[in-house]
Chain A
Amino acid sequence: MHDMSAPAVHGAPTSFIRKHVFSTDHKVIGKQYYALALVAAFVGMFLSWIMRIHLGWGSFAIPGLHLLSKTGAPGDVLTPEYYLQLMTMHGTIMVFFVLTTAPFAAFGNFFLPIQTGAEDMPFPHFNMMSFWVTFVGFLVLVASFFLGDGPTLGGWTQYAPLSAIGSVGGPGEGLGVVLWATSIAIFCIGQLLGSLNFITTTLDMRCKGMSLMRLPLSTWAWFITSIMGLTAFAVLLPACILLILDNVAGTSFFVASNLVINDQMLPHSGGSTLLWQHLFWFFGHPEVYIAIVPGMGIVSHVLITNMRRPMLSHRVLIYSMGSLAVLSYMVYGHHMFVSGMNPISSLAFSFPTLVITIPSTIVVLIWLGSLYGSRLRINAASLFALGFISMFISGGISGFFLAQPSIDIMLHATYFVVGHFHLVMGVAAMFGIFAGTYFWFPKMVGRMMNETLGKIHFWMSFVGAYCIFMPFHYLGIASNVRRYQAFTDDYLIPLIPVHKFITIAALFTGFAQLIFLYNLIHSRFWGAHAPNDNPWEGTSLEWSTATPPPHNNFGDKMPVVYHDPYQYSVEGASADYIMQASPENVHSPDEEK
């Protein structure tokens, strides 16, 4: 644990640049990550709108679309290749720059040090670098819209050899791929630096009395995620470097011999196309949990505060999230059941994929069991947390199908898969972000968000997301193939009305996000001031400090922790909650010794 007599990690900045731009303060960095994720989320959402309109009404001219690309959208109508390019950018931006950035890097940066009772992270300059490197990664990715023949069209998974053979593979497959791989490699560096800080803060910077089991569930989730990040991004980084080399240096890591395009043999030999898939999914499946585990932590934290009771078992939730992290490395092959991988390997990957449903089920049952007999408060934050549970159940259960190679023969690469991962790692993770935003906004900026708008945002998002993603499953069962810009096959034509319904639902749900954006910006500048430092009557350390927290988080007096993180409704206590830093000598029988 951290020595309380040690000085603060670094002094308060005095210049505007060091305070707001190149800041080493984890709270500023957290907000910067949040802002980046916000911009990225809206870019990704607008891309999805364009794609959905195109899928519903292929010849519809979207006013102004040609401004994005004259060749990709002549007459404001998407070309087939530009559809794939936008689809690739949508997936990449959402997975990397939103689902990883917001729940993990943004909230984790702001609150992990505070919840552990630290003044800052141990490597603040690495932390600053982590954000700015990620920001540069985003700029490099966005630059591909405007350079060469546009972004890569190979999908966010960038399967080789299409991604490794250069511009001969199609539009965006030269410079577009190089920019994509460079962006992701840079992103990996940022996340490695961030993960390093999260791990060391959790292990070495905890304040007096803060044992590991006294850490809130949100901090545990960020800690577990950072361990996954450290190992997963460390594999994706070299994979991206190899992909860049295949494109620019004539190497053949991912390109086999004797391939022919346009009647010309490619100048590559000896590479393995499946190698890319192994490397990518070794990162890719833990990435699913990198996106969702922070949401589990945030939602648990928000729910407990609003249930006015601790979780049924703090330890079981931590162990379950840890099990998910460990198993996430043993299941990645389920993405490759029909890839040409040895069929025996498919069975070997199938069993852990089925087994991972056990810790997932335990997490859900603990949430449900904790709701039982609670005193649930309903507000925008708790609604999104409850919505998260519903979405996680719906998205997780379809995993039963995709875990089995025999069923995957039918469902692989169909909209069933798209519906599954959008619900479980997209919508659920977004609901975790929203729950965290409505909950922690007063602590982050000192003002409250508008609750009424927050609830409207929830209802529209909740109903809208189900209207989008449940029909995806039905389409998949009917064998509707994904990544098609138009449905010209005889058996797909009858499904087009379902796509039109989904498009309308997507526009409706997207509109709800504009309400959120308005609420966020308006509340930031003109929202009601937070009534006190602890408006939700929470117990963890962020509610013990000023709003917003001072530079070193706790001012002159560093906290000492006396209690478990969630001491609500303890018999004999002076209120219905006891804060972690409260010396009140009343303990529940369940407190960790």
Chain B
Amino acid sequence: MAKIFAVTIVVIAIASAIPIVMHMWPMPPDISTHGHLIDEQFSDTMVEAGVSFLASQLLLAFFVWKFSTSKPSDKIKRFPGGAAGLVIAAFLLVGTECLALGVFGAKAWASVYFTPPAANALPVQVQAGQFAFYFRYPGPDGTFGPIHPDQISEANANFFGLDTTHDQASKDDIVTAEMAIPVNREIHLLMHSKDVGHSFYVPELRVQQDFVPGLDVSLHFTATKIGKYEIVCTQLCGLGHYNMKAYLEVKSQEDYDTWIKQQAALQ
């Protein structure tokens, strides 16, 4: 039975690795300028973790295979190098691995969070609420008008609580239910939740960030490929969580200019 156990572990270990090696269910393709850093970090980690996984599972299988058939008269053998050797090996191998992953991973993280958005980045505000995203563009004045929570009204389609009568900056704000951005232009995303926790996840964009009620969070990114992508909520926000989504359309600059004019006309 020990041999069956050993063979089973080998089969499971190899079978587990096949979908990864064959890219059977890969990450969605990257469409961002920073995404390659995340993908490279993921690939490096996969190699290191994959080797550790296979090596340790195969070692377990080998030892169970070899030492379960010992006779009572067989002498107990001590692992060469003893515990000290294994502890040193763990510190050296895993310690180096941790250091490498930590340092290079920090670089990828810093590229997303530690650099300020460019001065000419296009600001877009996204507001999350049960169970929809709404987007706001600042209009020709380049300034967002203030949000008045007491004036938020789904019934009157005033999703951001804008007071266009009194607030000059709000008059030209453009509110949409879908997000469109120009390709190869940095976006400065300003995130606001009106009710509970939500998240903004676009796998292709290599972006995921929670909305924090009471705290406005910002992100910046640049999309490099024209297309239509899904924005999904990943923070459990209530019964409609699974259905909370919107589309992100990455357009050419001309198409974007046309689109934003059309949206402005609809306000």
Is B24 part of the binding interface, using a Cβ–Cβ cutoff of 8 Å? yes
CA of A308 to CA of B155 in the docked complex: distance in angstroms? Answer: 74
Interface string of A480-513 (1 = CB under 8 A from B): 0111111111110001001000000000000000
User: When the two chains form their complex, are residues B26 and A373 in contact, meaning their CB atoms are under 8 A apart?
Assistant: no
Which B residues are CB-close (under 8 A) to A162?
196-197, 236-238
Interface string of B71-109 (1 = CB under 8 A from A): 110111111001100110111011101100110011011
Which B residues are CB-close (under 8 A) to A200?
none
Is B164 part of the binding interface, using a Cβ–Cβ cutoff of 8 Å? no
CA of A409 to CA of B234 in the docked complex: distance in angstroms? Answer: 11
CA of A482 to CA of B82 in the docked complex: distance in angstroms? Answer: 43
Which B residues are CB-close (under 8 A) to A234?
none
Which A residues are CB-close (under 8 A) to B141?
none
The 8 Å CB contact of B243, one of A256, A406, A488, is A488
Is B245 part of the binding interface, using a Cβ–Cβ cutoff of 8 Å? yes
CA of A161 to CA of B129 in the docked complex: distance in angstroms? Answer: 12
The 8 Å CB contact of B86, one of A258, A365, A490, is A365
> 8 Å CB contacts to B: which residues of A272-316?
272-274, 307-309, 312-313, 316
User: When the two chains form their complex, are residues A474 and B24 in contact, meaning their CB atoms are under 8 A apart?
Assistant: yes
Shortest CB-to-CB span from A380 to chain B, Å, is: 10
The 8 Å CB contact of B27, one of A165, A272, A400, A410, is A410
CA of A566 to CA of B27 in the docked complex: distance in angstroms? Answer: 48
> With A308-B76, A340-B210, A372-B77 in contact, do A169 and B196 touch (Cβ < 8 Å)?
yes
Shortest CB-to-CB span from A162 to chain B, Å, is: 4
Question: Range of interface residues on chain B?
Answer: 35 or more
Identify the stretch in B118-126, B132-140, B166-174, B200-208 within 8 Å (CB) of chain A at 4 or more residues.
B200-208
Is A532 part of the binding interface, using a Cβ–Cβ cutoff of 8 Å? no
> With A365-B90, A369-B79 in contact, do A161 and B197 touch (Cβ < 8 Å)?
yes
CA of A591 to CA of B264 in the docked complex: distance in angstroms? Answer: 82
> With A159-B235, A410-B206 in contact, do A373 and B77 touch (Cβ < 8 Å)?
yes
User: When the two chains form their complex, are residues A378 and B2 in contact, meaning their CB atoms are under 8 A apart?
Assistant: yes
CA of A383 to CA of B68 in the docked complex: distance in angstroms? Answer: 11
User: When the two chains form their complex, are residues A362 and B26 in contact, meaning their CB atoms are under 8 A apart?
Assistant: no
Task: Specify the chain B residue showing the minimal Cβ separation from A313.
Answer: B83
User: When the two chains form their complex, are residues B16 and A406 in contact, meaning their CB atoms are under 8 A apart?
Assistant: no
User: When the two chains form their complex, are residues B86 and A366 in contact, meaning their CB atoms are under 8 A apart?
Assistant: yes
Shortest CB-to-CB span from B94 to chain A, Å, is: 5
Task: Specify the chain A residue showing the minimal Cβ separation from B150.
Answer: A265
User: When the two chains form their complex, are residues B236 and A159 in contact, meaning their CB atoms are under 8 A apart?
Assistant: yes
Task: Specify the chain B residue showing the minimal Cβ separation from A340.
Answer: B212
Is B130 part of the binding interface, using a Cβ–Cβ cutoff of 8 Å? yes
Is B70 part of the binding interface, using a Cβ–Cβ cutoff of 8 Å? yes
CA of A404 to CA of B91 in the docked complex: distance in angstroms? Answer: 19
Is B177 part of the binding interface, using a Cβ–Cβ cutoff of 8 Å? no
Shortest CB-to-CB span from A461 to chain B, Å, is: 12
> 8 Å CB contacts to B: which residues of A367-407?
368-378, 383, 386, 389-390, 393-394, 397-398, 400-401, 403-407
> With A393-B53, A398-B49, A470-B16 in contact, do A373 and B79 touch (Cβ < 8 Å)?
yes
Is A249 part of the binding interface, using a Cβ–Cβ cutoff of 8 Å? no
User: When the two chains form their complex, are residues B57 and A406 in contact, meaning their CB atoms are under 8 A apart?
Assistant: no
CA of A265 to CA of B150 in the docked complex: distance in angstroms? Answer: 6
> With A375-B70, A386-B64, A394-B16 in contact, do A153 and B239 touch (Cβ < 8 Å)?
yes
User: When the two chains form their complex, are residues A409 and B83 in contact, meaning their CB atoms are under 8 A apart?
Assistant: no
Which A residues are CB-close (under 8 A) to B59?
368
Which A residues are CB-close (under 8 A) to B48?
400
Which B residues are CB-close (under 8 A) to A405?
105, 109
User: When the two chains form their complex, are residues B213 and A259 in contact, meaning their CB atoms are under 8 A apart?
Assistant: yes
> With A80-B240, A343-B113 in contact, do A362 and B86 touch (Cβ < 8 Å)?
yes
Which A residues are CB-close (under 8 A) to B210?
338-340
Which B residues are CB-close (under 8 A) to A406?
37-38, 41, 105-106, 108-109, 112
The 8 Å CB contact of A259, one of B24, B149, B236, is B149
Is B259 part of the binding interface, using a Cβ–Cβ cutoff of 8 Å? no
Interface string of B48-62 (1 = CB under 8 A from A): 110011001101100
Identify the stretch in B4-12, B181-189, B250-258 within 8 Å (CB) of chain A at 4 or more residues.
B4-12
Which B residues are CB-close (under 8 A) to A410?
27, 38, 42, 203, 206, 208
Is B209 part of the binding interface, using a Cβ–Cβ cutoff of 8 Å? yes
User: When the two chains form their complex, are residues B26 and A477 in contact, meaning their CB atoms are under 8 A apart?
Assistant: yes
Task: Specify the chain B residue showing the minimal Cβ separation from A494.
Answer: B25
Task: Specify the chain A residue showing the minimal Cβ separation from B85.
Answer: A369
User: When the two chains form their complex, are residues A409 and B112 in contact, meaning their CB atoms are under 8 A apart?
Assistant: yes
CA of A470 to CA of B37 in the docked complex: distance in angstroms? Answer: 26
Is A81 part of the binding interface, using a Cβ–Cβ cutoff of 8 Å? yes
Shortest CB-to-CB span from A455 to chain B, Å, is: 7
User: When the two chains form their complex, are residues A485 and B242 in contact, meaning their CB atoms are under 8 A apart?
Assistant: yes
> 8 Å CB contacts to B: which residues of A335-351?
338-340, 343, 346-347, 350-351
Which B residues are CB-close (under 8 A) to A368?
56, 59-60, 63
Is A59 part of the binding interface, using a Cβ–Cβ cutoff of 8 Å? no
CA of A273 to CA of B242 in the docked complex: distance in angstroms? Answer: 22
Question: Range of interface residues on chain A?
Answer: 35 or more
The 8 Å CB contact of B109, one of A274, A343, A394, A485, is A343
Chain A CB count within 10 A is highest, among B74, B83, B109, B196, for B196
CA of A375 to CA of B76 in the docked complex: distance in angstroms? Answer: 7
User: When the two chains form their complex, are residues A475 and B236 in contact, meaning their CB atoms are under 8 A apart?
Assistant: no
Which A residues are CB-close (under 8 A) to B196?
161-162, 165, 169, 259, 261
User: When the two chains form their complex, are residues A376 and B60 in contact, meaning their CB atoms are under 8 A apart?
Assistant: no
The 8 Å CB contact of B213, one of A262, A273, A351, is A273
Shortest CB-to-CB span from B200 to chain A, Å, is: 9
Is A582 part of the binding interface, using a Cβ–Cβ cutoff of 8 Å? no
Is B266 part of the binding interface, using a Cβ–Cβ cutoff of 8 Å? no
The 8 Å CB contact of B206, one of A169, A309, A409, is A409
> With A410-B38, A410-B203 in contact, do A354 and B57 touch (Cβ < 8 Å)?
no
The 8 Å CB contact of B60, one of A266, A273, A371, is A371
User: When the two chains form their complex, are residues A369 and B86 in contact, meaning their CB atoms are under 8 A apart?
Assistant: yes
Taking beta carbons and an 8 Å cutoff, which residues of B are in contact with A? 1-2, 5, 8-9, 12, 16, 19-20, 24-28, 37-38, 41-42, 45-46, 48-49, 52-53, 56-57, 59-60, 63-64, 67-68, 70-72, 74-79, 82-83, 86-87, 89-91, 93-95, 97-98, 101-102, 105-106, 108-109, 112-114, 129-130, 149-150, 152-155, 161, 193-197, 199, 201, 203, 206-215, 217, 230, 232, 234-243, 245
A-B contact pairs, 11 of them (CB 8 A): A80-B239, A261-B195, A312-B79, A362-B90, A374-B67, A374-B70, A376-B64, A378-B2, A406-B108, A410-B208, A474-B24
Q: In the complex, given contacts A362-B90, A397-B52, what are 13 additional A-B residue pairs having Cβ atoms less than 8 angstroms apart?
A: A80-B243, A84-B236, A259-B194, A261-B196, A308-B76, A338-B210, A340-B209, A350-B109, A386-B60, A390-B12, A406-B105, A409-B206, A491-B203
Q: Which 6 A-B pairs have the closest CB atoms?
A: A256-B214, A373-B77, A313-B83, A406-B108, A81-B239, A343-B113
Taking beta carbons and an 8 Å cutoff, which residues of A are in contact with B? 79-81, 84, 153-155, 159-162, 165, 169-171, 173, 255-263, 265-266, 271-274, 307-309, 312-313, 316, 338-340, 343, 346-347, 350-351, 354-355, 357-358, 361-362, 364-366, 368-378, 383, 386, 389-390, 393-394, 397-398, 400-401, 403-407, 409-410, 412-414, 455, 459, 462-463, 466, 470, 474-475, 477-479, 481-491, 495, 498, 568-569, 576
